[in-house]
Chains A and B, each alone.
Chain A
């Protein structure tokens, strides 16, 4: 195991605020978290035994959550596209040629809370050029109005690529119905009407960049075959001049839901019917037991080994699938149960069974044996995925967005260990009230 020397012996005097030296808990490696004076955080996980490959991730806290103004849904995702337009120092042609010759796996993705840009490449000798070009991209991005208008059409194309997908439609409907004010009301792709207006948003795009594409709103995560000290020298050299934003995002407060809601989507072509039931839940926390207990409940109540899954999917065969999505988000989000149902006439039955199952967990505490199985599943699900530098970076990017320090994963899994059957029962009673629920259904029309 690699042991790092204490960060206060660091040679990099301009690098300040060493935060953490090593991991203890479920993470099977040490890591280092440092912060530049301009607020840019750097999480470094050298893996000298993983030959050749380096995963270089830039996480910007820009997602659907940041789209607080009306008419701007989908903007975080749109801006992700604009980040690939080059700078005045390095044209997009020059940048693209470098990436192509590097043979890097590179792209970006946008979520509710953050946008992630990654470059996965072979050869530690390429690290310096990657750092230089990535820093230039974030500090000196340049595009004009014409470039923005053309890219807006690509977003429209991306919308079209998903247009035949009923899962997306019901998910959009559920969020739009369940939320009243919070920006989680829309998905990362945004409303079609806002996508169509993106060509006219050049001025707003500049404001958006100033607010969110700044070092105090970004984290670098580097995993793989490199030397930490060398990395930090390069980061200081190339990112040191990036100016802070100091913008503080205030997301609209979501009022408590006071009555049950319902919505339906008529899908234009023949498809399997779907139902999604959402309850407002808590935000991510590594300290409060609420979300951790609900994560365990989701697995106990609706995973593939659960009794309702076995009944509806395997025995009665009413459903093709039954899933849960209890999102870890920076703000309170939805706890979602969803099912793909084989026949439209069974939608009311499946809905009734889901609510009945939830009531069961309010009345009876779960067994210790079941709870132990779920804890084991979560543990192995997490650690089995840490098999490449890219998988490590991909897993951690999500948690780093939430809490900056990767050690949050250790704290979360410690919290899981502490959850008792009584905690689960209490949280079920607290969050799964009918008045806090939204039911969305979708069924297909006549096939053309």
Chain B
């Protein structure tokens, strides 16, 4: 048995050999779509079942419904099997069904050894096509979702909390404007009947793309398509989103809690996405300014490497929330995007200084553009780094789906084609066109919020001290400028609320 596995596993390492891409060219909008990446001889098979529906499709007053419904599919029983029985059957295969819900799309994921493909798929199919909707599963998952909002998010994950506050600020009154898990108020009122109705309405063929990759048998996709064709035909019309609201000046929300460290996220909506020509130029600029977890990031160099203020400082040209991951995730496609900056937690004593430093660097970027050599460096970096983006079957499938959403045959191939043509001037033009330093939403999580608010409004000097008594003169000279760098913040633009008040109701809690 083991010997067989050993030989069959060789195929894992041969993704590059027999990779063929097959997809449906034209489709009826009311019927299933598919993205297939057969890799002959590969011992693994990956599923991505994409639903063109996300938390933005939650009906008003029922925020959290999409997440709760889909969680009940991924984490509950089917008609024929209880969740306990499913877990028992999945266990020897080391298999599971993963779920991620975003604003406008959601995806069920699973990867399994081809030894177990039929057994796995049989259960997977039942979970999605014939959900059990048991009361006990509903109660468990709803409680977990409530606990996440009330306890975990606001108490245990300040970095993620900051990003979610930024989302609340940017999209107040907008379909994107609530967390995928909803609010405590709306979640408490959701019923099993709401779940069943949402499933019936949204789990229709035209909303679904079946993604398969790996060493599955050649007749397997047809079987899957036939099974999923049992769903009703139909589709949900893509949401017509209101215009994104740009901040007016610097708008600050401070979530106050007892903590020695301050977390910061800031940003504003942008009018472009990966679908636009200008995206590639803007992407180079943002990689230079704050590439995720890389030394290329200017913010990382200035805040962490030169001054040792925190663990990392990054910026993003579109939605990116996977903090610890090396590479961007897939299937977070949205009609509307935003630029953001993520400053990882730092000592409360230095919060005002680092806020000033970040905004000053953004101002310099917008006013001065990026130097020629940094343009070349960032472009070369992206050309090479993106070659590592799609290594696993699931990643290949994910990018395939995203490519289609943004109108490309293959987005990563497009990167290789487009980036060499981008000029230094294109990048600096994109910066001027899409970025600004005067109108930002700023989310802060910190202690003693009133004191910070007063300091910011008064533009009080914010000198800092270092463990190193012999800091380079150049840095100390720059610090003298940063510590008095003026921030034009009006008192009425600062909201302070206890951390525990967030996500109880829609929007940002009122100032206390």
A binds B: yes
CA of A444 to CA of B151 in the docked complex: distance in angstroms?
A: 9
- Please determine whether B155 and A164 come into contact, CB atoms closer than 8 angstroms: yes
Q: Does B308 contact A (CB under 8 A)?
A: yes
CB distance from A22 to the nearest CB of B (A): 11
Q: Does B406 contact A (CB under 8 A)?
A: no
- Please determine whether B91 and A268 come into contact, CB atoms closer than 8 angstroms: no
- Please determine whether B44 and A161 come into contact, CB atoms closer than 8 angstroms: no
Chain B residues with CB below 8 A from A123, complex form: 384
Chain A residues with CB below 8 A from B381, complex form: 100-101, 103
CB distance from A52 to the nearest CB of B (A): 7
- Please determine whether B377 and A448 come into contact, CB atoms closer than 8 angstroms: no
Given A103-B384, A272-B151, CB of A50 within 8 Å of CB of B467: no
CB distance from A345 to the nearest CB of B (A): 15
CB distance from B84 to the nearest CB of A (A): 5
CA of A286 to CA of B17 in the docked complex: distance in angstroms?
A: 35
A144-155: CB near B (< 8 Å → 1, else 0) gives: 011001111110
Chain A residues with CB below 8 A from B94, complex form: 376-381, 384
- Which of B1-60 touch A at CB < 8 Å? 2, 5-7, 9-10, 12-17, 43-44
Chain B residues with CB below 8 A from A53, complex form: 387-388, 391
- Please determine whether A373 and B384 come into contact, CB atoms closer than 8 angstroms: no
Q: Does A383 contact B (CB under 8 A)?
A: yes
Q: Does B326 contact A (CB under 8 A)?
A: yes
The residue in B5, B6, B7, B471 that gathers the most chain A C-beta atoms within 10 A of its C-beta is B6
CA of A444 to CA of B499 in the docked complex: distance in angstroms?
A: 14
CB distance from A302 to the nearest CB of B (A): 12
Q: Which of B136-144, B183-191, B266-274 contacts A (4 or more CB under 8 A)?
A: B136-144
CB distance from A321 to the nearest CB of B (A): 9
Given A153-B466, A384-B111, CB of A320 within 8 Å of CB of B147: yes
Chain A residues with CB below 8 A from B111, complex form: 384
Q: Does B230 contact A (CB under 8 A)?
A: no
- Please determine whether A272 and B152 come into contact, CB atoms closer than 8 angstroms: yes
- Please determine whether B344 and A52 come into contact, CB atoms closer than 8 angstroms: no
Chain A residues with CB below 8 A from B115, complex form: 380
- Please determine whether B13 and A29 come into contact, CB atoms closer than 8 angstroms: yes
- Please determine whether B259 and A164 come into contact, CB atoms closer than 8 angstroms: yes
CA of A29 to CA of B112 in the docked complex: distance in angstroms?
A: 20
Given A310-B87, A380-B116, A384-B113, CB of A161 within 8 Å of CB of B155: no
- Please determine whether B13 and A49 come into contact, CB atoms closer than 8 angstroms: yes
CA of A444 to CA of B156 in the docked complex: distance in angstroms?
A: 10
CB distance from B357 to the nearest CB of A (A): 14
CA of A260 to CA of B143 in the docked complex: distance in angstroms?
A: 34
Q: Does A356 contact B (CB under 8 A)?
A: no
Chain B residues with CB below 8 A from A1, complex form: 7, 10
Q: Which of B289-297, B426-434, B486-494 contacts A (4 or more CB under 8 A)?
A: B289-297
Q: Does A6 contact B (CB under 8 A)?
A: no
- Please determine whether B13 and A317 come into contact, CB atoms closer than 8 angstroms: no
Chain A residues with CB below 8 A from B157, complex form: 164-165
A364-375: CB near B (< 8 Å → 1, else 0) gives: 000000001100
Q: Does B102 contact A (CB under 8 A)?
A: no
- Please determine whether B156 and A154 come into contact, CB atoms closer than 8 angstroms: no
- Which of B44-95 touch A at CB < 8 Å? 44, 83-84, 87-88, 90-95
Q: Does A332 contact B (CB under 8 A)?
A: no
- Please determine whether B5 and A28 come into contact, CB atoms closer than 8 angstroms: yes
B368-387: CB near A (< 8 Å → 1, else 0) gives: 00000000010011111111
Q: Does B345 contact A (CB under 8 A)?
A: yes
- Please determine whether A26 and B2 come into contact, CB atoms closer than 8 angstroms: yes
CA of A281 to CA of B155 in the docked complex: distance in angstroms?
A: 33
Q: Which of A210-218, A235-243, A385-393, A397-405 contacts B (4 or more CB under 8 A)?
A: A385-393
Chain B residues with CB below 8 A from A422, complex form: none
Chain B residues with CB below 8 A from A376, complex form: 92-94
Q: Which of B10, B15, B393 contacts A29 (CB 8 A)?
A: B10
Q: Does A253 contact B (CB under 8 A)?
A: no
CA of A51 to CA of B16 in the docked complex: distance in angstroms?
A: 6
Q: Does A47 contact B (CB under 8 A)?
A: yes
- Please determine whether B304 and A157 come into contact, CB atoms closer than 8 angstroms: yes
- Please determine whether A150 and B466 come into contact, CB atoms closer than 8 angstroms: yes
CA of A372 to CA of B140 in the docked complex: distance in angstroms?
A: 30
- Please determine whether A121 and B384 come into contact, CB atoms closer than 8 angstroms: yes
CA of A304 to CA of B14 in the docked complex: distance in angstroms?
A: 32
- Please determine whether B83 and A120 come into contact, CB atoms closer than 8 angstroms: no
- Please determine whether B92 and A373 come into contact, CB atoms closer than 8 angstroms: yes
CA of A279 to CA of B498 in the docked complex: distance in angstroms?
A: 40
Chain B residues with CB below 8 A from A146, complex form: 468, 470-472
Given A49-B14, A101-B381, A305-B91, CB of A152 within 8 Å of CB of B467: yes
CB distance from A111 to the nearest CB of B (A): 16
CB distance from A26 to the nearest CB of B (A): 6
- Please determine whether A387 and B467 come into contact, CB atoms closer than 8 angstroms: no
- Please determine whether A99 and B295 come into contact, CB atoms closer than 8 angstroms: yes
CA of A305 to CA of B150 in the docked complex: distance in angstroms?
A: 28
In the complex formed, the residue of B with least CB distance to A123 is B384
Q: Does A68 contact B (CB under 8 A)?
A: no
Q: Does B98 contact A (CB under 8 A)?
A: no
CA of A103 to CA of B13 in the docked complex: distance in angstroms?
A: 22
- Please determine whether A103 and B391 come into contact, CB atoms closer than 8 angstroms: no
Given A103-B386, A149-B466, CB of A269 within 8 Å of CB of B261: no
CB distance from A389 to the nearest CB of B (A): 8
Given A96-B295, A103-B383, A384-B94, CB of A163 within 8 Å of CB of B155: no
> What are 21 residue pairs bridging A and B, where the CB atoms are less than 8 Å apart in the complex?
A26-B2, A97-B377, A100-B295, A105-B326, A149-B466, A149-B469, A153-B467, A154-B304, A164-B155, A164-B157, A164-B261, A268-B259, A305-B90, A314-B84, A342-B147, A376-B92, A377-B92, A378-B94, A383-B9, A384-B94, A387-B393
A-B contact sample (6 more), CB < 8 A, given A28-B6, A100-B295: A50-B16, A101-B381, A150-B471, A154-B310, A320-B144, A377-B93
B residues with CB within 8 A of A: 2, 5-7, 9-10, 12-17, 43-44, 83-84, 87-88, 90-95, 111-113, 115-116, 136, 139-140, 143-144, 147, 150-152, 154-159, 256-261, 293-296, 304, 306-311, 326-327, 344-347, 377, 380-388, 391-393, 466-472, 498-500
